[in-house]
Structure 1
Amino acid sequence: MENLLSYQYLLIGLIFIWSGFVRSGLGFGGAVLSLPFLLLVHNDALVFLPLISVHLLVFASITVIQNNRKPSSEGGTVNWPYLRYLLLIMLIPKLIGVFGLVTLPSSLMSGVIFTIVAVYSLSYIFNRPFKSNSKVVDTLFLLLGGYISGTSLIGAPLIIAVAAQHVAREQLRDTLFALWLVLVAIKMAAFVYFEVDLQLIHHLWLLPCAFIGHLIGLRFHRHMLQTDAAVFMRFLGTALLVISLVGLTRAALG
């Protein structure tokens, strides 16, 4: 990422502020709601995924630790038994997905990411989130979500479709954060093993950008717990659909 132009660095900084905001505000979306924008700036997912992964590890751990140190948190803000259940189902497809990430061509990986995000965006626009009505569908969603998370860290909507039905609303965000911590730790270990550039120098300026968004998102999360976020998600879905179509068109034109 050393050879980019000044305006590209500016755009990346703004996108990481957005990434921090949606991650702490919604409990997910640090990757799925920012990676399409990043790929339009620089079309290589392996450049940005290590950065997003480290940010998730830092801010998710801070949030979970802080919330579970509060004396008022009866039973804590993480549903640990259900977290173990999620990990048992998702671990193997996660590992398979990580292997695919480091072996697939970057152009193909970007096309896959834009396609998946376009599908997600339609569910936001029409307010039709993924839903599961049986244990079999639960398992399929978790297996697919684990695999997609392994390839690109954007499996959250499928995982949430299952977890939201079994975890109390006030515990959902931090339970997801704890899950992301484990899944992202696996991905980071794979990055190190396969000698992927972790972009360490760029953490010095992108972590503060994500921190700004993180603080704003914490306030938004408290507000969202008391309101309906459907309008926000519909607007977000429209933006993601446009970005995904632009990315797919650019890829098709070479």
Structure 2
Amino acid sequence: MFFPELSPLAHLGIALIFVWSGFVRSGLGFGGAVLSLPFLLLIDNRPLVYLPIIAVHLLVFSALTLWQGRANKIAEPLTPTAPSVAWPYLSKALLIMLVPKLIGVFGLLALPNHIMTGIIFAIVLLYSLSYIFDKPFVSKQPWMDVVLLMLGGYVSGTSLIGAPLIVAVFATHVAREQLRNTLFALWFILVSIKMAAFLWAKVDLQLLQHSWLLPCAAIGHQLGSRLHDKLLQTDARIFYRWLGIVLLFVSSFGLVSSLI
């Protein structure tokens, strides 16, 4: 059930990281991979071990969140509310992202571990600077929407960490109260494509590891759901800045280590 080559302390660290992953994913609607994968790779430098686990978690908790949103809407039929998912814009964005996504997926399967790890740390380093200096990726022009969605699709295909690029576009076109559920619907579709590629390439999906890592992510998911309600009512910039500082140190150390 556990990773036989890792120490008990390493297993504890992995468990805590997956609690953190579920917390961030549920609280923000994105970031479960980008804010956990760097920490996992510092413990065990094997992206293709952890990406299938993260992908399954994304499928499970995306479906759960969308189901809960639908159940809440059915429970309050007299309350006039907008659809929880912005399907028209989601469909439009998927058409732009699909080809870069597929290119990224097959690039992941072809690249050696150390190169893939270096790319992941470099991307996370860039994200961390945007958080620290409060300069998030933004899109103000239709052509920039296309560029960011294509880049986000490609990065998502390689490593599941394209969320900040994609969110930069969706946040300008989707209402704030619809954004999280719309992103979860997008993650479900994109990850389904990635899982199909894993199955085609006969990548080990680490199914036994889900018996102890899925409950860890579930704990984080419940805690993050409470965070989400508060973030809707507050300015989250301070939260992102602290995340950026932590990610800067982690990604810098990881990038240097992968190059040595």
- Aligning the two structures, in what range does the TM-score lie when normalised by the shorter sequence? over 0.9
Conserved in 1, the CA contact under 8 Å of 2:51 and 2:159? yes
Do residues 193 (structure 1) and 195 (structure 2) align?
no
Per the TM alignment, residue 252 of structure 1 is displaced from its structure 2 partner at its CA by 2.0
Amino acid at match of 1:19: S
Do residues 40 (structure 1) and 42 (structure 2) align?
yes
Which range moves more in the overlay, 65-74 or 41-50? 65-74
Do residues 170 (structure 1) and 166 (structure 2) align?
no
How many percent identity over aligned positions?
61
Conserved in 1, the CA contact under 8 Å of 2:53 and 2:205? yes
Distance 2:66 2:44 in 1: 32
Per the TM alignment, residue 73 of structure 1 is displaced from its structure 2 partner at its CA by 6.6
Q: What residue number does 2:5 align with? A: 3
Per the TM alignment, residue 75 of structure 1 is displaced from its structure 2 partner at its CA by 3.2
5+ residue gaps in structure 2?
Answer: none
Amino acid at match of 1:23: R
Q: What residue number does 1:59 align with? A: 61
Distance 2:255 2:138 in 1: 27
Distance 1:73 1:132 in 2: 31
Distance 2:17 2:96 in 1: 32
SS at match of 1:164: helix
Per the TM alignment, residue 149 of structure 1 is displaced from its structure 2 partner at its CA by 0.2
CA 1:172–1:18: 2 relative to 1, 3 Å: same
5+ residue gaps in structure 1?
Answer: none
Distance 1:11 1:29 in 2: 18
Amino acid at match of 2:24: V
Q: What residue number does 2:108 align with? A: 101
Per the TM alignment, residue 74 of structure 1 is displaced from its structure 2 partner at its CA by 2.0
Distance 2:60 2:44 in 1: 24
Q: What residue number does 2:32 align with? A: 30
SS at match of 2:139: coil
Distance 1:157 1:243 in 2: 18
1:153 aligned residue (129, 150, 160): 160
Q: What residue number does 2:15 align with? A: 13
Conserved in 2, the CA contact under 8 Å of 1:67 and 1:73? no
Do residues 139 (structure 1) and 141 (structure 2) align?
no
Distance 2:259 2:153 in 1: 28
Aligned CA RMSD, in angstroms, stands at: 0.9
Matched length: 253
Structure 2 length-normalised TM? 0.96
Dislocated runs of 4+, deviation >6 Å: none
Q: What residue number does 1:214 align with? A: 221
Per the TM alignment, residue 250 of structure 1 is displaced from its structure 2 partner at its CA by 1.1
Per the TM alignment, residue 36 of structure 1 is displaced from its structure 2 partner at its CA by 0.3
Do residues 79 (structure 1) and 81 (structure 2) align?
no
SS at match of 2:202: coil
Conserved in 2, the CA contact under 8 Å of 1:98 and 1:187? yes
Amino acid at match of 1:138: D
Distance 1:110 1:67 in 2: 36
Amino acid at match of 1:101: L
Amino acid at match of 2:4: E
